[in-house]
Structure 1
Amino acid sequence: MESKGSVLMQRYELGRHLGQGTFAKVHYARNLKTGTGVAIKIVDKEKVLKVGMIDQIKREISVMRLIRHPNVVELYEVMASKTKIYFVMEYAKGGELFNKVARGKLKEDVARKYFQQLISAVDYCHSRGVCHRDLKPENLLLDENGNLKVSDFGLSALAESKRQDGLLHTTCGTPAYVAPEVINRKGYDGAKADIWSCGVILFVLLAGYLPFRDSNLMEMYRKIGKGEFKMPNWFAPEVRKLVSKMLDPNPRTRISMEKIMGNSWFRKGLDTKPIIFEKEDAEPAPLDADAVFGRLEDLSSMTDSKQELSKPCCNLNAFDIISYSAGFDLSGLFEETERKKEVRFTSNKSAFTIISKLEDIAKRLRLKIKKRDGGLLKLEGSKEGRKGIVGVDAEIFEITPLFHMVEMKKSNGDTLEYQKLMKQDIRPALKDIIWTWEGEQQQQQQQPPQIAVQEQEQVQE
């Protein structure tokens, strides 16, 4: 375990703890050779494997190699041990922009400066074929001079991620900042979706609160889908016009990056000096994403032979939920489930905990458990039933890192046998991780996580 003052790979002396997420923690560190301060994100390999996030980590490494811009956090190098992955990154001394916004709205000139730097960075990313897909104040850091730095490219997409229709089809991001076309699951232009998120950020900087707010998640999605929000009365007319064009729910008519950068309000006080990259001709240090995971077999000595079973975490994203509720209608989520072939529940536990619980249940009930294509967990009985072996698929959807929806449905066998298995065995065994089963009263008094700018203070990985 890393501790303050310890030396990492004979190159970095670890300092104070900066933050922690579900799968990683971040430390300040000092380069022993140059004395330069850096931030090191330490990712737990075993946890990443367990929830099937290998591709996400590889993508983050590949994307950060492509992006070298004054307003993007620079990735210096990636190192790996048997159990950890170390991202050595530029240290942003000023912390998250979110912390400034949490104290209230910013002055117009200050907000515009941050917005100019954000647009400059995002436009550069798009020019390199990279869409961020999770832009929000928590992922915007500030350096010691108060300059903005875009971070956290874990959900970013490269141009080659597009299908033959030229669109992205993976739903991801943070609910309050996500574009309506991403929620609708019909394919979307990643650059246009980033513009929407930038529009939400501009609104938050100037207003001090989110444009789309509601304690009911589905109602918030409905508002996002219709672009339904109110401008504060202190917004200047030119700001209102720009925000409205960025938060146009129709991506085809939404304003382009080129027009944003040509906007008169945007250009006020803009530093028009050409962007100069330090060490422009220097080749970035080689970062082989595959090599980071090249020694995964080393984990086998640490884990049970059945560790492989717990790797998937089935498409963790909040917005697949919408597909179960046509027209953002809550009734599709909350109806009688006693005789249905699928049931859903919500849990205020991490995906890691939910998967471990399902593994324990499978072991106790002598069910086989394995990974299927698409990131599903499949549980199967050990004996033939009336219509073959009963099979149950479990898929987890993330609403927040500590609030999930899980769908369990019959994939094989007799329906009555499936219902008996669920009612008598699986449902009671899940009791300690359940927040509520759909259609039933909440089993605990605590409230689920609310989506509001003041309450999104979780540390990002």
Structure 2
Amino acid sequence: MSVRPSVGIVFPVSALLIDIWLLYKSGLIMSAGHLFLPFQIKREIATMKLIRHPNVVQLHEVMASKSKIYMVLEFVEGGELFDKIVNSGKLGEDEARRYFHQLINAVDYCHSRGVYHRDLKPENLLLDSYGALKVSDFGLSAFSPQTKEDGLLHTACGTPNYVAPEVLADKGYDGMAADVWSCGIILFVLMAGYLPFDDPNLMTLYKLIARANVSCPPWFSTGARNLIKRILDPNPHTRITIAQILEDEWFKKDYKPPQSEHNEDVSLEDVDAAFDSSEEHLVAERREKPESMNAFALISRSEGFNLGNLFEKEMMGMVKRETSFASQRTPQEIMSKIEEACGPLGFNVRKQNYKMKLKGDKTGRKGHLSVATEVFEVAPTLHMVELRKTGGDTLEFHSFYKNFSSELKDIVWKTESNTIAK
């Protein structure tokens, strides 16, 4: 089988799917030789990497080329839940409830991490070989940092038949409440075999959704009817929440709470850290080439990730305490050039493998200025160089940075649209 994301091509490879994504909806713009990541993408991909739940398709790895991002996802071979509905017409109440249990577990988990789907529908619900439900395309639509000052999301997206009325109203909405509505539509479809609101005319469909007059078929039990009507409440403020769904008597029948998985404890601080330059963490063995850096680490560790222009910042002409740049030179050339640039600036250099520690000769306002650097391999012909102030005064680091960057212009990877100012 193949999973069809909103934008992308999927190739099954052994037990994994290599999924080629163009994350245009999330704000990632890619073209040959140029990548630009807005502020929020760094946290978004980091959050996706940290989502681990038995009912969510797992993102295993992210890799990059100059023009594409490759996402390696869990291979789910049981097909779409949508196909099961098409073949069966409708599901029995107990079977529908079992899938609804798993859907609510997955959505609740992701909401607890500030992730909202906004495009929940049977086509995005997959089944593994054991019949367990897996939510796909999760985490690419919206994250809690995207809320505006009113605390609401403001980008309307999703398949119209499954979208909450407040989303269609385009006046801002709560991502959690909108996802709950979509879950209610899915439950109705599972049990009825058809949509509660449907019309070929889009404006008529919008009016039906806004009114939310739900007519349940006669084979729905009283408990199912009551729950669906509480979910499909057009008022998001009075709509039932996931916490309340978990306490509903119809829902609780045969419900088994999800078992927590024992995963490696990875924090966003770990993801964000450029590299640890402390003495106790220096690698003792000699490496023949720099540590590989995939796109996930690259995005997570970079400020803005504009490969052609990472030395230029638009923050009142100032730089932060860490920065990075890309180069198509060999690691040896990069390190040699860094060492060469440090001499005239009065910095001593210590090297170990592909890490360097730069320490100023002069005592500044807060002691000696020290800067840690490390070279990472992104691709055989592309390397990322990170610089981080590890000691001394920030203003002095700004001054050092200005002079240092001017000495490295000839090794920084430049694109047609991004060059370092002369």
Find the counterpart in structure 1 of residue 181 from structure 2: 196
Using the size of structure 2 for normalisation, the TM-score is: 0.59
Aligned equivalent of 2:284: none
Identity of aligned pairs, percent? Answer: 53
Measure the CA separation in 2 of the matches of 1:21 and 1:189. Answer: 24
Q: How far apart are 1:63 and its partner, in Å?
A: 3.5
How much does 1:201 deviate? 0.5
> Aligned pair 1:68/2:52, yes or no?
yes
Q: Aligned with 1:251: secondary structure? A: coil
Runs of 5+ unmatched residues, structure 1: 1-16, 31-36, 299-461
Contact residue 10 and residue 19 of structure 2 kept, 8 A:
yes
Is 1:97 the counterpart of 2:77? The answer is no
Matched ranges for 1:233-244 at <5 A: 233-244=218-229
The 1-side partners of 2:115 and 2:235 are apart by: 22
CA contact (8 A) 2:8 2:22 kept: yes
Structure 2 residue 18 is matched with structure 1 residue 40: yes
Summarize the Cα distance change of 1:245–1:179 in structure 2 as closer, same or farther, 3 Å threshold.
same
What are the residue-to-residue correspondences of 1:235-384 with 2, within 5 Å? 235-272=220-257, 275-281=259-265, 287-288=296-297, 289=299, 294=305
- How far the C-alpha of 1:62 sits from its partner, in A, is 3.4
- CA displacement, residues 110-138 of structure 1 (integer Å, 9 cap, x when unaligned): 11111000001111111111111111111
Aligned residues: 275
In 2, Cα distance between the equivalents of 1:38 and 1:283? 25
Residue 180 to residue 140, structure 1, CA distance change in 2 (3 Å): same
1:88 is the counterpart of 2:72? yes
Aligned-pair RMSD on alpha carbons? 3.0
C-alpha deviations, 1:289-336, integer Å up to 9, x for none? 3679947659xxxxxxxxxxxxxxxxxxxxxxxxxxxxxxxxxxxxxx
| Inter-partner Cα distance in structure 2 for 1:175 and 1:213 | 9
CA contact (8 A) 1:24 1:44 kept: yes
**Partner residue in 1 for 2:118:** 133
Deviation at 1:175, TM superposition (A): 0.6
Partner Cα distance (2:308, 2:137) in 1: 28
**TM-score, structure 1 length as denominator?**
0.54
Identify which of structures 1 and 2 has the higher relative contact order when contacts are C-alpha pairs closer than 8 Å and 6+ apart: 1
Q: CA deviation at 1:253?
A: 0.9
In the TM superposition, what is the alpha-carbon distance from 1:84 to its structure 2 partner?
A: 2.4
Shift of 1:68: 1.3
Match of 1:24 among 1, 5, 8: 8
Q: 1:88 is paired with a residue of what secondary structure?
A: strand
Secondary structure at the aligned position of 1:110 is classed as helix
State the alpha-carbon separation in 1 of the partners of residues 224 and 264 from structure 2: 36
Q: Secondary structure at the match of 2:70?
A: strand
Per-residue CA deviations over 1:267-308 (Å, capped at 9, x if unaligned) read: 111114x5221434467995233679947659xxxxxxxxxx
Q: Specify which of 86, 91, 94 is matched with residue 109 of structure 1.
A: 94
The amino acid across from 2:11 in the alignment is H
* Paired residues of 1:133 and 1:156 also in contact (CA < 8 A): yes
Equivalent runs, 1:170-209 vs 2, <5 Å: 170-209=155-194
Find the aligned partners of 2:225 and 2:2 in 1 and give their Cα distance.
Answer: 37
* 1:78 corresponds to 2:62: yes
SS at match of 1:41: strand
In structure 1, distance between residues paired with 2:138 and 2:116 = 9
Task: Check whether the contact 1:76–1:88 (CA below 8 A) recurs between aligned residues.
Answer: yes
Per the TM alignment, residue 43 of structure 1 is displaced from its structure 2 partner at its CA by 2.7
